[in-house]
C-alpha cells in the first residue's frame, strides 16, 4: 500500500494552505502558534472594523426604514413635490417618444427624424418650464435641486446625456439618473 499523498486544501479566499500537522499528542508547531498569535493581534487592533461602517454612519434598525428618495433635498415622502417614481418617468418618456414619432412623420414622411424632434422637444420644454408633453400628462416635472427652473444651459447638458440612453438608467438613492446629477436637477410629482 502506498502512503497517502500530501495534498493541498483550499480554504476560502486565502487560496491553498497545507493541511494540519499530525504531531503525536495533538501538539502544534511553533509556526502555527505564531500565525494564530498574529491573527489574534490583528483582530484585536481593529482590522475587522475597516469593512464595517463607523458608529456614526451605521444605520440603526430604526433609521433604515426612515430614509426615502428626496429626503436629503427636503422633499416630502409622498404627494406633490415628492420624487417621481420610475414607472411615471417611463410613461412620460413613451408618450413623448410616440408624439415625436408622429410629428417627425408628419413633417418629413420619415421616422428617422424622431430623435431630432425628441431632442428639441425635451430641451426647449424642460428649459422653459420643466415639463414635456408626456411629463405634463403623467403629472411630473423637472426642477433644479434648489427648487428653481432648470434653465437653458443645464437643460442642454441634461438632454445631451439623456439621449445617450444608458446614463438615465443608472440612478442613485434619490432616483436621480446621471443626466439629473450632471445637470443638478430632480424629477418631482406635481
pLDDT tens readout for residues 25-66 = 555 555 556 556 655 554 455 443 334 344 444 444 455 568
Residues 125, 167, single domain; the answer is yes
| Range with the poorest average pLDDT among 12-21, 107-116, 136-145 | 12-21
SS3 state of residue 153: helix
The predicted structure's pLDDT at residue 36: 61
**Quick check: 94 pLDDT over 50?**
yes
Residues 25, 103, single domain; the answer is no
The residue that leads in pLDDT, 46 or 74, is 74
Which residues form the domain of 38? 18-48
Q: Closest Cα partner for 150 from 162, 164, 137, 138?
A: 162
Residues 32, 90, single domain; the answer is no
Using an 8 Å Cβ cutoff, are 120 and 133 in contact? no
Structural domain total, the chain: 2
The predicted structure's pLDDT at residue 54: 44
Place of cell 409622498: 78
Confidence of residue 13 (pLDDT cuts 50, 70, 90): very low
Residues 38, 85, single domain; the answer is no
Q: Specify if 105 maps to a domain.
A: yes
Q: Specify if 136 maps to a domain.
A: yes
Q: Specify if 63 maps to a domain.
A: no
Residues 27, 98, single domain; the answer is no
Distance of alpha carbon 122 from its chain centroid, rounded?
A: 24
Q: Specify if 96 maps to a domain.
A: yes
Residues 80, 155, single domain; the answer is yes
Entry pTM: 0.63
State how far the Cα of 10 lies from the Cα of 114, in Å rounded to an integer: 58
Amino acid at each position: 500500500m502506498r502512503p497517502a499523498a500530501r495534498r493541498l486544501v483550499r480554504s476560502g479566499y486565502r487560496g491553498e494552505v497545507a493541511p494540519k500537522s499530525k504531531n503525536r499528542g495533538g501538539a502544534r508547531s511553533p509556526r502555527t502558534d505564531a500565525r494564530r498569535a498574529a491573527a489574534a493581534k490583528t483582530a484585536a487592533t481593529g482590522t475587522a472594523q475597516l469593512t464595517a461602517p463607523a458608529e456614526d454612519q451605521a444605520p440603526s434598525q430604526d433609521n433604515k426604514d426612515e430614509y426615502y428618495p428626496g429626503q436629503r433635498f427636503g422633499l416630502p415622502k409622498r404627494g406633490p413635490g415628492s420624487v417621481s417614481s420610475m414607472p411615471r418617468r417611463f410613461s412620460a418618456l413613451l408618450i413623448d417618444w410616440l408624439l415625436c414619432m408622429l410629428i417627425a412623420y408628419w413633417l418629413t414622411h420619415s421616422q428617422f427624424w424622431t430623435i431630432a424632434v425628441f431632442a428639441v422637444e425635451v430641451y426647449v420644454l424642460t428649459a422653459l418650464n420643466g415639463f414635456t408633453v408626456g411629463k405634463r400628462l403623467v403629472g411630473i416635472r423637472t426642477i433644479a435641486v434648489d427648487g428653481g427652473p432648470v434653465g437653458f444651459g443645464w437643460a442642454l447638458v441634461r438632454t445631451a446625456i439623456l439621449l445617450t440612453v444608458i446614463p438615465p438608467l443608472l440612478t442613485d438613492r434619490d432616483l436621480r439618473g446621471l443626466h439629473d446629477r450632471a445637470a443638478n436637477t430632480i424629477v418631482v410629482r406635481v
